[in-house]
Amino acid sequence: MPVLYKTIQSTKENKDGIKLFHPRVVHMATIGTTQLAKEIAEYSSLSTGDVKNTIDNMVTVMTKHLHSSESVTVDGLGTFGIIMRSKGKGAVTSDEVKAAQALLLVRFTPSFTKNQDRTVATRALITGVKCVPYSKDAAASDGGSGGNEGGGGNDGDQGENPLG
């Protein structure tokens, strides 16, 4: 299934006093760890429980490294790192700066490759995606992708399971 988007109008005017229109992704469902584990297990010799345990352990290990001021790169996916975003006003002197003045966030940067002319060739998770306008009729005819743990299905881009 392609990425669905809807058109929204900005609440703020541009410099010419016009509220412009922009595309925004429509999220149809949230796929949880259990569903991911089930689908990954279909492509491997591991059970769903083994895959879920591995995902849970990956989160634990990544958290440990992020809490140690290290970034974590997952090949083919991207890099995770903790950043600080200042909230409110800054301090007059460097001695007055405290961690409480900032909000901690995890930043994810998808991995990518470049062509010889330095243009982006591929970007993890989004290269090859197709976008179509959202309509309730189109979403209903798709059969819906379900709730929190359901849905997902085969979007056609993964090919057949080579093990089955």
Q: What is the mean pLDDT of the chain?
A: 83
**What's the pLDDT at 123?**
80
Report the DSSP beta bridge partners of residue 53: none
**What's the pLDDT at 37?**
95
Residue 122, CA distances (Å) to 113, 130, 156 in order: 5, 14, 19
Q: Average pLDDT, stretch 120-127?
A: 79
Q: What is the pLDDT of residues 51-86, one digit of tens each?
A: 999 999 999 999 999 999 999 999 989 999 999 999
Q: Which fold has domain 3-11+20-141?
A: HU Protein; Chain A (4.10.520)
**DSSP H or E stretch at residue 92:** none
- Sheet containing 72-74: which strands, arranged edge to edge? 72-74, 78-86, 102-110
Q: What is the pLDDT of residues 34-53, one digit of tens each?
A: 999 999 999 999 999 999 99
Q: How far apart are CA 16 and CA 23, in angstroms?
A: 20
Q: 3-class DSSP state for residue 56?
A: helix
Q: What are phi and psi of 4, to 5 degrees?
A: -95, 145
Structural tokens at position 111: 């991995």
Global pTM value? 0.67
Closest CA relative to residue 72, chosen from 60, 81, 83: 81
The residues, ordered by sequence, that sit 6+ positions from 44 with a Cβ below 8 Å of its Cβ are: 51, 163
